[in-house]
A = this chain, B = another copy of it.
Amino acid sequence: MLQQLFSPSVLHTLDLIGIFVFAISGALLAVRKNFDIFGIAVLAEVTALGGGLFRDLVIGAVPPAAFTDLGYFITPLFAAVLVFFLHPHVERIQAGVNVFDAAGLGLFCVVGTTKAYDYGLGLTASACLGLATAVGGGVLRDVLANEVPSLLRWDRDLYAVPAIVGATLTVLCLRLDVLNAVTSTVAVVTAFVLRLLAMRYHWRAPRAWHRRSTVSEE
């Protein structure tokens, strides 16, 4: 459906940019974990393609896009090589990487939601899969690196909420039959800006009720 809203080449280019920045985040974690060049490449691929792969398996779109489009496979390799040689420089521009990562988050939650809906899933399920597309790669990255997924940790700035908002806006537009190039761009940009604001002002989600008081009472 989004394929009809945007020219295919525009959408494909945006997709590749999202994949690239997600791959950078995977490759940087691999360097920090002291992995070798193959570990860096694997973590870049998994981070970039994991969310979409999960979505495609669930909606029955096999073989998944990750295995049919050569660009999807090569882009993370390129990111891995870049980080391999230039990681001190890439880390220095971490803020810039984070901005692109936020853009990828916004893009993928909208694209993922739309693709799931195209395959006949309900509105709620489509929004869930949009969220999974956006955050799934990062969760797989952290699981493979043997870390608690940063998505789940309370001490990280909001990451899921912007994607949930973007996916929800998308299904609202689908429900009201007003999804077009403008409204889907609005959904992407809303998620993107929310994530930027969450990073800027360190927005966090609450932990369980009584949790802190319980701890302080000890």
In contact, B59 and A63 (Cβ under 8 angstroms) = yes
- A181 is an interface residue with CB less than 8 A from chain B: no
- A199 is an interface residue with CB less than 8 A from chain B: no
- A198 is an interface residue with CB less than 8 A from chain B: no
Main secondary structure of the interface of A (DSSP, over half): helix
For A35, the closest partner residue in chain B by CB is B152
- A73 is an interface residue with CB less than 8 A from chain B: yes
* Chain B residues, Cβ within 8 Å of A37: 205-208
Binds B, one of A93-101, A107-115, A119-127: A119-127
Beta-carbon contacts under 8 Å, A79-97 to B: 83-88
For A37, the closest partner residue in chain B by CB is B205
In contact, A33 and B63 (Cβ under 8 angstroms) = no
**How far, in angstroms, from A84 to B204 measured CA to CA in the complex?**
16
- A31 is an interface residue with CB less than 8 A from chain B: yes
Binds B, one of A4-12, A153-161, A185-193: A153-161
In contact, A67 and B128 (Cβ under 8 angstroms) = yes
**How far, in angstroms, from A211 to B39 measured CA to CA in the complex?**
14
* Chain B residues, Cβ within 8 Å of A125: 63, 67-68, 73
Sample of 21 A–B contacts (CB below 8 Å): A31-B208, A36-B206, A36-B207, A37-B207, A38-B160, A38-B161, A39-B153, A39-B154, A40-B208, A43-B152, A57-B58, A58-B67, A67-B125, A67-B129, A68-B121, A68-B125, A70-B124, A87-B208, A87-B210, A145-B152, A146-B148
* A residues adjacent to B (C-beta < 8 A): 30-31, 33-40, 42-43, 53, 57-60, 62-64, 67-68, 70, 73, 83-88, 119-122, 124-125, 128-129, 139, 143-149, 151-154, 160-161, 204-211, 214
